Amino acid sequence: MIGPAVGPRRVLVTGGAGLIGSHLIDALLDRGETVFCLDTYETGDPGNLSHHADNPRLTLLERDVTDPPHLDVDQIYNLACPASPPQYQRDPIRTLRTSVLGAMAMLDLAHRTHARILQASTSEVYGDPFVHPQPESYNGNVNPIGPRACYDEGKRCAETLFFDYRRVHGVSIKVARIFNTYGPRMQSNDGRVVTNFIIQALRGTPLTIYGDGLQTRSLCYVEDTVDGLIRLMESPDDVTGPVNIGNPTELTMLELAEQIIGLTGSSSPVLHMPLPADDPRQRRPDISLARDLMGWCPNVALQDGLRATILYLRQTPVLKLAGCSPVLA
């Protein structure tokens, strides 16, 4: 992690009760910042921040990102948006509204308060890529009318807004394209591949793999992702991004399933299901820019991160009631 902040600042984190947001708030409070967490708790969990209940430097604000409070802040991390396909497809219009109108509301706040603002964009802006690994210069291959478009195009539009606010209003912006992130505080029912596989393995039910399982992902542990976001926020003003934040180690879904089965000591079989529409075949970041501009690269090995995530998910009520007992290799 980079060093402590230079003097305490007032920092707003939207979506702060989610996986990345809550770990980011941990890091910001450790750096001595005063933090405001804005979240509707529709996909975030206030319990993720319960260990800060007595910290006077943290204020929880239960409200929508499109209707922000009147705050005087120095920095804004805009993380508000459902991030897993089942979550963002549940109400696609609301997802698009959160991505676009939420970004605009936060940019207006940044403009009004002269705050620096960071947008949590996504690797999904690359769609199902024809270029591999994906550099920031690649414009992507996104279906604008498919079932994933509410998220993919919402994030792409948010990026457009960020750069237009910089060009028109001089707002100090940062754009991070976050690749698959995992770790403790993931929701057991979020529908992401890591949680699906771990929960299924702990229950002893088949691990569901979509398609042939040869599609790839690159998984970044949440603490590494947070380190990248803070480094980007603290970088010089002319470093705007977009900057990829992700782990360049690529693995197939079959390989991930095998690792999780081994780490949990499970005897679960693998069950192949039809591939969802517009599911990317390959996902791997080119992180040359993050290395060159910020000195950042991920440090947590996949097996170490998976062990920590398995231990966390083992404590979820549904698994505790089921009496699941993983054996960690």
Counting beta carbons within 10 angstroms of the beta carbon of residue 92, is it exposed (0 to 12), middle (13 to 18) or buried (19 or more)? middle
d(CA 295, CA 234): 12
Interior/surface letters 5-23, b for 16+ CB within 10 angstroms, e for the rest: beeebbbbbbbbbbbbbbb
Q: Is 151 a catalytic residue?
A: yes
Cα torsion angle, 39, 42, 44, 49, sign: positive
> Which position has the token pair 């702990």?
202
d(CA 51, CA 43): 19
Q: Which amino acid is at 146?
A: G
Q: Active site residue: 126, 151, 182, 221, which one?
A: 151
Catalytic center residues: 151
